Amino acid sequence: NAGVTQTPKFRVLKTGQSMTLLCAQDMNHEYMYWYRQDPGMGLRLIHYSVGEGTTAKGEVPDGYNVSRLKKQNFLLGLESAAPSQTSVYFCASRTGGVGYTFGSGTRLTVV
């Protein structure tokens, strides 16, 4: 039981490049979330999904897109990366009535 797995763990992008972060969970959870964490700050919600085929915006959605084509996967896309998107990205999942399970994070640097 791997829990929540994020790939890649590290990435350096040039301004304007695109990339996709993958989050996979093997717990059959309905809800999945993408957060970002800037140095010394708490986590901020980017987008989330309450089930396969559904997505919704969080606090800071601009510059990001998401897709949930399969229940176990939640993809976060950056179409044109900017230095302001340099951050650590965390994925989380949960099912009703229990706590959230977080991945170990993706450290993204945009130069």
Partner 1 sequence: DAKTTQPNSMESNEEEPVHLPCNHSTISGTDYIHWYRQLPSQGPEYVIHGLTSNVNNRMASLAIAEDRKSSTLILHRATLRDAAVYYCTTNAGNMLTFGGGTRLMVKP
Q: Which of 26, 38, 59, 79 binds partner 1 (CB under 8 A)?
A: 59
Task: Decide: is 2 part of the binding site for partner 1 (CB under 8 A).
Answer: no
Task: Decide: is 50 part of the binding site for partner 1 (CB under 8 A).
Answer: yes
One-letter amino acid at 104 equals S
User: Least Å distance between CB 15 and partner 1?
Assistant: 26
Q: Which of 1, 14, 42, 62 binds partner 1 (CB under 8 A)?
A: 42
Tokens representing 20 are 């996709």
Interacting residues toward partner 1 by CB under 8 A: 4, 31, 33, 35, 41-45, 48, 50, 58-59, 90, 92, 99-105
